[in-house]
Structure 1
Amino acid sequence: MILAMLAGLFLALCVFAALHDVNRLTIPNWLNLTLALLFVPAAAVSGVPMEIIGGHLVTALCAFMIAFGLFAFNIVGGGDAKMIPAVMLWVGPNASVQFLFVMALAGGACAILIILVRKTMPEEVVPGAIRAPFKEDAGVPYGVAIAAGVFAAGAGSPFLSEILSRISLFS
């Protein structure tokens, strides 16, 4: 029950991060830190063997190094580079390929949508709460893609599978 509550909070914060990223094109540090720190009590109450928890930690560490490189080359923003390893703690090695695949597809779809809207609609027509990505030279809110990847791949994680199985869309 406690694991389900922690996982539910984690998923809700992923949605919040996506919405915040759309609205402001940033993901706050406190949010990424919270996503990562929620893993500690989740791992403690889950009953998952230490070898699997270790695999999740190694996966997150690898994701951190790759995301840092992507940030260094200005491919992703700092908030995105911090959110990816934070969610990889929860997703783990078994679901990481599916997470990355869905994240990449969703990120590409977001980019295409933003480009199409920028070319066909004046910025003033877009509602204020979601206008930031549609401004000229604005970035892509990749928090949306990261959250999509979490929801798509989370069923493969021992920490997220129970809560996602309760949501009929993902069962």
Structure 2
Amino acid sequence: MILAILSSAFLALCVFAAMHDVNRLTIPNWLNLTLAGMFVPAAAVSGVPMEIIGGHAMAAGCAFLIAFGLFAFNIFGGGDAKMIPAVILWLGPNATIPFVFMMAVAGGGCALLILAVRKYMPAEALPGAIRAPFEEKAGVPYAVAITAGVFAAGGSSPFLSEILNRIGLFS
């Protein structure tokens, strides 16, 4: 029951991060810290063996190094580079490849949508809550892609699969 609550809160915070990123083109540090920090009690109550929890930590550590390398080359924003390892901590090594694939597909889709809207519609015509990404020279709200990756790959995570099955995403 506690794991289901923590998993649900994690997924809800991922969706919140995506909405916040669309609205402001940032992901707050407190949010990324909360996403990662909630893993500790989730791991404690899950009954998952320590070897698997260690694998999750190692996958997150590798993701941290890669994401900050991409941040250093100005490919990712700082919030994105912090959110990716936080969600991979929950997803683990088995879900990392499907997560990265879906994140890339969703990120590309977001970028194409933003470019198309920028070309054919002035940003001023859009509602204020979603206008930021459509301003000229604005970035892509990549938390949307990260969250899509979480929902797509979460069925492979021992921490998220049960809650995603309950809401009908995986059978």
1:25 aligns with 25
- Normalised to the residue count of structure 2, the TM-score between the two structures is 0.99
Aligned ranges 1:59-74 → 2 under 5 Å: 59-74=59-74
Task: Please report how far the alpha carbon of residue 74 of structure 1 lies from its aligned counterpart in structure 2 after TM superposition.
Answer: 0.3
**Aligned counterparts of 1:21 and 1:139: Cα–Cα separation in 2:** 10
1:136 aligns with 136
RMSD (Å) for aligned C-alpha atoms: 0.5
Amino acid at match of 1:59: A
Tell whether 2:45 aligns with 1:45: yes
- The answer to which of 118-127 and 9-18 deviates more is 118-127
Structure 1 unaligned segments of length 5 or more: list them.
Answer: none
Tell whether 2:131 aligns with 1:125: no
SS in 2 for 1:140: coil
SS in 1 for 2:92: helix
Task: Please report how far the alpha carbon of residue 12 of structure 1 lies from its aligned counterpart in structure 2 after TM superposition.
Answer: 0.2
**Aligned counterparts of 1:22 and 1:123: Cα–Cα separation in 2:** 13
2:11 aligns with 11
> Is this contact kept in 2: 1:100–1:149, CA < 8 A?
yes
Structure 2 unaligned segments of length 5 or more: list them.
Answer: none
Following TM superposition, the consecutive aligned residue runs of length 4 or more in structure 1 with deviations greater than 6 angstroms are none
SS in 2 for 1:168: coil
Task: Please report how far the alpha carbon of residue 126 of structure 1 lies from its aligned counterpart in structure 2 after TM superposition.
Answer: 1.0
> Is this contact kept in 2: 1:152–1:170, CA < 8 A?
no
**Aligned counterparts of 1:169 and 1:8: Cα–Cα separation in 2:** 13
**Aligned counterparts of 2:170 and 2:143: Cα–Cα separation in 1:** 20
1:110 aligns with 110
**Aligned counterparts of 2:129 and 2:9: Cα–Cα separation in 1:** 23
Q: Percent identity?
A: 78
Number of residue pairs the alignment of both structures matches: 171
1:169 aligns with 169
Give deviations 1:119-144, integer Å, cap 9, x for gaps: 00011111110000000000000000
Task: Please report how far the alpha carbon of residue 169 of structure 1 lies from its aligned counterpart in structure 2 after TM superposition.
Answer: 3.2
**Aligned counterparts of 1:154 and 1:135: Cα–Cα separation in 2:** 32
**Aligned counterparts of 1:6 and 1:169: Cα–Cα separation in 2:** 18
SS in 2 for 1:170: coil
